[in-house]
Structure 1
Amino acid sequence: MKLSEYIDYDATELASLVRVGDVTPLELTHLARSAHDQVNSRINSIIEFYEDAETVTAANGGPFHGVPFLRKDLGATEAGRLQECGSRLFKGHRPQTESYFIRRARESGLRIVGRTTVPEFGMSGMSESILHGITGNPWNLERSAGGSSSGAAAAVASGITPMAHGSDGGGSLRIPAAWCGLVGLNPSRGRVSGGPNKQDRSFGLSRDFVLCRTVGDMAAALDTFSGPHPGDPFIIIQPHRTYMQELSQPTGTLKVGVAMTGWGAANVQPEVQQAAEATAALLEEMGHTMIEIPTPYDLNEYYKGFAARSKYSADSLENEARALGRQIDSSTLEPLSVKLYEFGRNAQSASLGDMFEAWRLTRFRVGEALDPFDILLTPTMPVVAPPNDSIYRPTSETLSIDEYMEGARDLFPYMGVFNVTGHPSVSLPLAQSASGLPIGIQIVGRFGDEATLVHVARDLEQARPWRHRRPPLRAGAI
């Protein structure tokens, strides 16, 4: 198989070729390494492609038999491998626990061949860190790949692997999916276990999943990674059919809530708004009913929860630094991280009770607002990928916490709210700007109803195919 052929297959297709003997797992790993060697020096998406990648273990079979896979340097842990969280504080850190997510990846036949870049602690939503530098967007290297699953998105978009691990605590799968032209699903809270030691990570805000290029891979990944484990905080409803089987099921007629105007402080770019409206018109042509929905939550209430969490976050970071035998200062943390840490240490008035109450009210308001609808349609991001360094510069001493929070309000009004509520949501690469940058459209489902998201995503993929759209910087094309 040639490299130019390898990058055109998705993960399930490559596994099918392995099963019939047209290619071997070892050949796929060689191709992934060749793709890495060809493009990674320019995009900086992979921190390390494992020296022993050709000998890593995985099941001999499964839905992703032999397919190379990348692990994000944050979230799920791979026992004995480095996980530095994009931070000098964790430089050289090697967890000894294997996450259930990683176990399931291996059981499905995925071969983990390396780890990908993240911004420090996944906080900025951009693709830069002091530890590893800038991860460029394969569509335009001067633009952000998004974060915090930045390296994963850039690697998949450029063809190094067809699918990669990511995690989402406030948009970290969907942001890079929107800006790199990928499919990025954040599953319902509880759909994918965070165990054995992070079952309810970040108070249930964060979930591990994948970035990929097709709805078929998304469905197969749901089948692979879904399901409870002992110690999980709660067990959500399990599907009646596999998600791969759902690909052949009819969608039915849906009532769709549409964000026709920007939520909160969002200033939606005209091309992004046009893409959302065009998607709504397409769904209406399919027979679904469109109804406008305004911002379904109170912005001040929502952000009050994050402010209240700051003291807990500071205490947790202090404990981790102590366990590593390191100090928290400008030599180990980026300037903004130091400011956030100090803000949390000094936040005497806020409590976890305040956080839980703010998010309870947010869940209640959003739950009431979304209850009449089967799905919700919004832009994923209000803007196309911005230039690197334009919003968040890791070395900046002048960026204040207030400016950081204001930027978050402007950029992520459609993101973190669904981490708080637990609704599943997926970004689909349904449009492009006049300059050729991807535009993602988000579809939000009822809690626990990934099946309807699979149906709608399949319908939109068939009606507005995107597989032919590939970035200028990709393996096999240089």
Structure 2
Amino acid sequence: MNFEDYRKYDAVGLAGLVANGEVSAAELLETAVARMAAVNPKINAVTMDLTEWGRQDVKRPIWSGPLAGVPFLLKDLGAQLAGSPTTAGSAVFKDTLATSDSAITTAYKEAGLVIFGKTNTPEFGLMPVTEPALLGVCRNPWDVGRTPGGSSGGAAAAVAAGIVPAAHASDGGGSIRTPASACGLFGMKPSRGRVSFAPTGEGWGGASIQHAVTRSVRDSAVLLDVVCEPQPGDPYFLARPERPFADEVGRDPGKLSIGFTTAALASDALDPECAGAVLDAARLCEGMGHMVEEVNVPGDLAAMQQGAGDVIAASIAATLDAEGERRGRPVSEGDVELLTWLMCQRGKQVSGSAYVRGLAAIHAYGRAVAGLFQRYDVLLLSTLGSPAIPVGHLTENPAEYVQRLFAFMPNTQAFNNTGQPAMTLPLAWSARGGLPIGVQFVGRMGEEALLYRLAGQIEKARPWFDRTAPL
């Protein structure tokens, strides 16, 4: 199968070709591997080549599952693959081999996906750009001088470059939505508890969640159906939906009440083109029959951010302390990047009392925001503060790091901490350089189905599938 034909299909479409005998899983894998060889040197999206694993996998005597035979990539953070390391973008874990698959990896395999590599991620997923010292800089297929975002930057870059139609991703503060927005993809962050982290525990106090970045809405829905089975002992979980998420795509969402804002929640203001994209999306939704009006997002954002910072820092400190105990010597400053070390030192200063108070501030913010959804079905706002920023921009001036961080990603972390589902759709492109601009839609806790219905409606009205990166 040649690449031009391969790229015409999403994952569901490719699985259909395999099921009908029009193409073999082996042919699809070799097309993906050839595309990876052609473009990965330019973008550094795939940092662990597991091609031979994939070639063994496609020899399965019996194929089953909704995505049987489709090439797939795991993010090098959060999902264990037995026999391979999950580096988390850090030299600390580069030689630590997983002894078993994570629940999500098992689910992907059972769905018939063919895993043949792992994708780039910043150290411990701490940055909204993907420039780790261990794995190297990942670049955006729309403009290789710019970041694909993070922390699922490698996943998004691989999909945008056409290596795969969909890839595993995770989101603790915007790490699905940020790179999906920067790379012109669809990205759904599910509700807290929708996808299990088994056999490990919660991520960042429940803020982190796994799923995928995709080119089509239906791929996202099918992939969420594949992985949303609660596991025994999960600290919190949502039961499987009454109807598959895949069945929601294409269903009429009805007339929704949509509140929108052009605010940058955690910084001074949006880039004008991002604000313009929100207004354009509001007009689009109104034109489709929804009730749309401007709103203010309630809640003490500063207190939530302080609490989330303490939780994340303490989590990093705990991870490095546990690794130090395992190896018999503490992790030292030279073992990790500067930001990770500073976060670790902050985490060591977070008392038990401060941790609990931080969680309380996070939960109070969630309750405040939930009040908005007593009136509105959906909140519409910009995914990012600007289109993709240049490589190196975030870290070139340490004194401006926090300011630049939230100028780029002012609107995503809030909904990790409320636990609500939030999705980004590629609905605009910048006049300066033609860079993708994502628009974010947030739903009530557990209402991914409603978001998928709305996303399917918008995808039909404003299709983006054939708008691909020039790389």
Which residue of the partner structure matches residue 464 of structure 1? 462
Is the contact made by 1:312 and 1:352 (CA closer than 8 Å) also made in structure 2?
no
Q: Which secondary structure does the structure 2 equivalent of 1:79 belong to?
A: coil
Which residue of the partner structure matches residue 423 of structure 2? 426
Change beyond 3 A, Cα 1:346–1:82: same
RMSD over aligned Cα, in angstroms? Answer: 1.7
Residues 1:414 and 2:411 aligned together: yes
Partner Cα distance (1:355, 1:164) in 2: 33
Is the contact made by 2:304 and 2:358 (CA closer than 8 Å) also made in structure 1?
no
Residues 1:159 and 2:159 aligned together: no
Partner Cα distance (2:170, 2:321) in 1: 23
Is the contact made by 1:272 and 1:383 (CA closer than 8 Å) also made in structure 2?
yes
What does the per-residue CA deviation read over 1:242-298, in whole Å, with 9 as the maximum and x for residues that have no partner?
Answer: 122212421100000101333242421111111110110010011111121223222
Is the contact made by 1:263 and 1:294 (CA closer than 8 Å) also made in structure 2?
no
Is the contact made by 2:230 and 2:239 (CA closer than 8 Å) also made in structure 1?
no
Report the residue type matching 1:442 in the other structure: Q
Partner Cα distance (2:84, 2:268) in 1: 39
Which residue of the partner structure matches residue 318 of structure 2? 315
Is the contact made by 2:89 and 2:123 (CA closer than 8 Å) also made in structure 1?
yes
Task: Identify which of 316, 328, 345 aligns with 2:331.
Answer: 328
Is the contact made by 1:126 and 1:392 (CA closer than 8 Å) also made in structure 2?
no
Task: Identify which of 433, 438, 441 aligns with 2:439.
Answer: 441
Q: Which secondary structure does the structure 1 equivalent of 2:145 belong to?
A: strand
What does the per-residue CA deviation read over 1:176-195, in whole Å, with 9 as the maximum and x for residues that have no partner?
Answer: 00000011110011111111
Partner Cα distance (1:342, 1:440) in 2: 34
After TM superposition, give the deviation of residue 404 of structure 1 in Å: 3.6
Which residue of the partner structure matches residue 383 of structure 1? 386
Is the contact made by 2:121 and 2:151 (CA closer than 8 Å) also made in structure 1?
yes
Partner Cα distance (1:326, 1:385) in 2: 40
Which residue of the partner structure matches residue 54 of structure 2? 53
Is the contact made by 2:195 and 2:230 (CA closer than 8 Å) also made in structure 1?
yes
Report matched runs for 1:33-432 at 5 Å.
33-50=33-50, 51-56=52-57, 60-198=63-201, 200-309=202-311, 310-325=313-328, 327-348=330-351, 351-392=354-395, 399=398, 403-432=400-429
Partner Cα distance (2:92, 2:39) in 1: 28
Partner Cα distance (1:212, 1:236) in 2: 23
Identity value in percent: 38
Partner Cα distance (1:289, 1:459) in 2: 15
Partner Cα distance (2:334, 2:91) in 1: 8
Unaligned runs of 5+ in 1: 474-478
Q: Which secondary structure does the structure 2 equivalent of 1:114 belong to?
A: strand
Residues 1:23 and 2:23 aligned together: yes
Partner Cα distance (1:326, 1:78) in 2: 26
Change beyond 3 A, Cα 1:326–1:2: farther
After TM superposition, give the deviation of residue 349 of structure 1 in Å: 8.3
Partner Cα distance (2:68, 2:199) in 1: 25
Report the residue type matching 2:47 in the other structure: I
Is the contact made by 2:420 and 2:442 (CA closer than 8 Å) also made in structure 1?
yes
Q: Which secondary structure does the structure 2 equivalent of 1:429 belong to?
A: strand
What does the per-residue CA deviation read over 1:47-68, in whole Å, with 9 as the maximum and x for residues that have no partner?
Answer: 1221332112677121101001
Partner Cα distance (1:180, 1:6) in 2: 19
Q: Which secondary structure does the structure 1 equivalent of 2:402 belong to?
A: helix
Which residue of the partner structure matches residue 476 of structure 1? none
Which residue of the partner structure matches residue 4 of structure 1? 4
Partner Cα distance (1:412, 1:112) in 2: 30
Report the residue type matching 1:410 in the other structure: A
Is the contact made by 1:183 and 1:427 (CA closer than 8 Å) also made in structure 2?
yes
Partner Cα distance (1:341, 1:261) in 2: 32
Is the contact made by 1:311 and 1:350 (CA closer than 8 Å) also made in structure 2?
no
Q: Which secondary structure does the structure 2 equivalent of 1:427 belong to?
A: strand
Q: Which secondary structure does the structure 1 equivalent of 2:334 belong to?
A: coil
TM-score (norm 1): 0.94
After TM superposition, give the deviation of residue 21 of structure 1 in Å: 0.5
After TM superposition, give the deviation of residue 370 of structure 1 in Å: 2.6
After TM superposition, give the deviation of residue 325 of structure 1 in Å: 4.3
Change beyond 3 A, Cα 1:27–1:184: same
Report the residue type matching 2:53 in the other structure: D
Partner Cα distance (1:355, 1:299) in 2: 12
Change beyond 3 A, Cα 1:337–1:126: same
Is the contact made by 1:46 and 1:155 (CA closer than 8 Å) also made in structure 2?
yes
Partner Cα distance (2:172, 2:184) in 1: 20
Is the contact made by 2:277 and 2:437 (CA closer than 8 Å) also made in structure 1?
yes
After TM superposition, give the deviation of residue 237 of structure 1 in Å: 4.6
What does the per-residue CA deviation read over 1:280-322, in whole Å, with 9 as the maximum and x for residues that have no partner?
Answer: 0010011111121223222221112124323453133211233
Report the residue type matching 1:399 in the other structure: P
Partner Cα distance (1:326, 1:64) in 2: 44
More off after superposition, 157-166 vs 246-255: 246-255
Is the contact made by 2:12 and 2:219 (CA closer than 8 Å) also made in structure 1?
yes
Q: Which secondary structure does the structure 2 equivalent of 1:296 belong to?
A: coil
Is the contact made by 1:117 and 1:135 (CA closer than 8 Å) also made in structure 2?
yes
What does the per-residue CA deviation read over 1:347-391, in whole Å, with 9 as the maximum and x for residues that have no partner?
Answer: 458622112211121111111123211111111001000000011
Runs of 4+ in 1 over 3 A off after TM superposition: 324-327, 346-350, 403-409
Report the residue type matching 1:320 in the other structure: E
Partner Cα distance (2:352, 2:29) in 1: 53
Partner Cα distance (2:114, 2:294) in 1: 44
Report the residue type matching 1:468 in the other structure: D
Q: Which secondary structure does the structure 2 equivalent of 1:381 belong to?
A: coil
After TM superposition, give the deviation of residue 410 of structure 1 in Å: 2.7
